[in-house]
């Protein structure tokens, strides 16, 4: 089968991955599930994996097939699998978990002590078929197209997980700030709108992104390249500040916004990454601010997101590409030229 594989870390996205023929996976364990990929989302994390940014965080053995936002149809199952059968449309939670370690028993899939992460530590879904396991697959409701929903496997669940934490702190009348209305931000914005009665302010320097934010339910939009974000937020909140910031960019300039726009006790959720947090400890003490990281989400949260999608509360803007065009997609995302989410269709 065809697969898009990383042979060497590089900053040159035009030669990021190589399309080659590899063996089709089989369910090697009794809980194994092979999924024929209908769609696999390209993610900023793929660019970061290509650049070698994940090498010191997770074990990686090159060459490796990338792709961690996967959905498709079950092709083959191990002998003990009961949750799905051949032909079922599924979305794949990004990690294969063991189910028996303490984090697994607490439902914290991402903290599993025996985790495997297709696309980061094992072969992923930029291929005709993917090997995952029973604990990762979520059957899709009737009428849900696996190609369209694929990016929710990581982009969606990550946005949802951050927003769910923010929503727990948001009361009606509070204000939430969404930073960046790209692949994740446009999903997070809709989750916020569906799950809270907060006033939502969306920041993005791109006019098209601000228009998208308004379409998707943002109450106010701000251009941080020409407007004073703190002044706008203070104006909108009678100088109280926002209760929650959900930062889908995670650059130095955006992480610096927290203390300027947050009300005392507020949280700045860091979802995107690449930059640093540079704040004096005293600033955090004075305002009781917290920076909170976000890593994907729980299996049950992906089920919840699928339910929101099924209700029509969250729509995903996607563009489809052939697997052969994968390096073009990598380059386009590197230059910010992809609206919503790119989905490869092997």
Instruction: Tell me which residues touch Zn ion (CB under 5 A).
Output: 43, 45, 97-98, 101, 104, 112, 154
Residue 110 Cβ vs Zn ion, minimum distance, rounded to whole Å:
10
Contact predicate 49/148, CB 8 Å = no
Cα–Cα distance measured from residue 112 to residue 98, given in angstroms and rounded to the nearest whole number: 7
Query: Which CB atom, from 65 or from 196, has the smaller least distance to Zn ion?
Result: 65
Query: Which CB atom, from 103 or from 224, has the smaller least distance to Zn ion?
Result: 103
As given in the structure block, the two tokens for residue 41 are 């989302």
Query: Which CB atom, from 3 or from 187, has the smaller least distance to Zn ion?
Result: 187
Query: Which CB atom, from 38 or from 262, has the smaller least distance to Zn ion?
Result: 38
Cα–Cα distance measured from residue 71 to residue 92, given in angstroms and rounded to the nearest whole number: 6
Nearest position to Zn ion, beta carbon: 43
Query: Which CB atom, from 63 or from 99, has the smaller least distance to Zn ion?
Result: 99
Could you check whether the bond before residue 63 is cis, i.e. omega within 30 degrees of 0?
yes
Query: Which CB atom, from 14 or from 114, has the smaller least distance to Zn ion?
Result: 114
Residue 232 Cβ vs Zn ion, minimum distance, rounded to whole Å:
30
Query: Which CB atom, from 189 or from 263, has the smaller least distance to Zn ion?
Result: 189
Residue 181 Cβ vs Zn ion, minimum distance, rounded to whole Å:
17
Contact predicate 65/7, CB 8 Å = no
Strands (E), the chain: 2-6, 18-21, 32-42, 64-65, 70-77, 89-92, 129-133, 137-139, 175-179, 199-203, 220-222, 242-247, 262-270, 290-293, 318-322, 341-345
Contact predicate 338/183, CB 8 Å = yes
Half-sphere exposure of 147 (CA within 13 A, CB side): 12
Sign for the CA dihedral angle at 270, 319, 41, 321 comes to: negative
Residue with tokens 């090159």: 62
Residue 153 Cβ vs Zn ion, minimum distance, rounded to whole Å:
8
Angle made by CA atoms 181, 185, 187, in degrees to the nearest 5? 120
Residue with tokens 């984090």: 103
Residue 314 Cβ vs Zn ion, minimum distance, rounded to whole Å:
17
Residue 101 Cβ vs Zn ion, minimum distance, rounded to whole Å:
3
Residue 271 Cβ vs Zn ion, minimum distance, rounded to whole Å:
11
Query: Which CB atom, from 45 or from 244, has the smaller least distance to Zn ion?
Result: 45
How does 167-203 read in b/e, with b if 16+ C-beta sit within 10 Å? Answer: bebbeeebbbbbbbbbbbbbbbbbbbbbbbebbbbbb
Residue 41 Cβ vs Zn ion, minimum distance, rounded to whole Å:
7
């Amino acid at each position: 089968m065809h697969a898009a594989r990383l042979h060497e870390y590089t900053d040159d996205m035009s030669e990021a991955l190589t399309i080659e023929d590899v063996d089709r996976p089989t369910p090697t364990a009794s809980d194994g599930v092979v999924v024929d990929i209908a769609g696999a989302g390209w993610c900023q994390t793929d660019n970061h994996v290509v650049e070698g940014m994940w090498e010191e965080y997770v074990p990686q053995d090159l060459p490796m097939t990338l792709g961690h936002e996967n959905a498709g149809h079950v092709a083959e199952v191990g002998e003990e699998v009961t949750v799905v059968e051949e032909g079922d449309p599924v979305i794949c939670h990004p990690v294969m978990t063991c189910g028996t370690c303490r984090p697994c028993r607490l439902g914290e899939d991402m903290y599993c002590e025996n985790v495997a992460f297709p696309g980061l530590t094992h072969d992923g879904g930029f291929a005709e078929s993917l090997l995952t396991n029973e604990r990762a697959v979520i059957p899709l409701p009737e009428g849900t197209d696996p190609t369209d929903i694929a990016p929710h496997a990581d982009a969606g669940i990550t946005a949802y997980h951050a927003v769910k934490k923010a929503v727990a702190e948001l009361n009606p009348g509070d204000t939430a700030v969404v930073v960046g209305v790209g692949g994740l931000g446009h999903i997070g914005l809709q989750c916020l709108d569906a799950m809270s009665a907060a006033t939502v302010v969306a920041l993005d320097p791109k006019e098209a992104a601000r228009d998208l934010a308004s379409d998707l339910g943002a109450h106010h939009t701000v251009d941080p390249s020409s407007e004073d974000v703190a002044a706008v937020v203070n104006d909108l909140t009678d100088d109280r500040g926002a209760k929650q910031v959900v930062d889908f960019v995670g650059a130095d300039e955006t992480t610096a916004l927290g203390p300027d726009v947050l009300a005392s006790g507020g949280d700045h959720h860091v979802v995107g990454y690449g930059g640093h947090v540079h704040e004096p400890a005293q600033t955090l003490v004075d305002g009781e601010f917290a920076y909170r990281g976000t890593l994907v989400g729980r299996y049950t949260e992906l089920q919840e997101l699928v339910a929101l999608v099924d209700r029509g509360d969250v729509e995903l803007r996607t563009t489809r590409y052939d697997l052969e065009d994968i390096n073009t997609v990598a380059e386009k995302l590197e230059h910010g030229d992809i609206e919503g989410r790119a989905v490869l269709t092997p």
